[in-house]
Amino acid sequence: MTDGKPLISPELLEIMQCPACAGPLSERPDPPALVCGACGRAYPVEDGIPIMLIDDAEAPDG
Ligand SMILES: [Zn+2]
């Protein structure tokens, strides 16, 4: 079901940043989330809408 289709528009992804550390975000297809390249938090994407809340983010392992 992950056909290379972007979760959110690339333009939007480009201007968004991690609310915790302002790091760059990248898409993770399964389960859908935006992952911070700096701190490793993963923000879930529900119905194409990223939930950019630190409290709802998956903390990185370790
Ligand atoms: Zn971050």
Rounded to whole angstroms, the Cα distance separating 9 from 25 reads 13
pLDDT tens digits for range 2-56: 566 777 888 989 999 999 999 999 999 999 999 999 999 999 999 889 999 999 9
Domain 18-56 class in CATH: mainly beta
Residue that has been written with the tokens 């972007």 in this structure: 6
Tell me phi and psi for residue 15, to 5 degrees: -90, -10
> Residue 4 Cα, ligand 1 centroid: separation in angstroms?
24
Sorted by where each begins, the domain ranges of the chain are 18-56
Count of all residues that appear for the chain in the document: 62
CA of 5 to the centre of ligand 1 (A): 24
The CA 52 to ligand 1 mean position distance, Å, reads 11
Interacting residues of 26 by C-beta distance below 8 A, sequence separation 6+: 13, 34, 35, 37
What is the pLDDT, as a whole number, of residue 56?
95
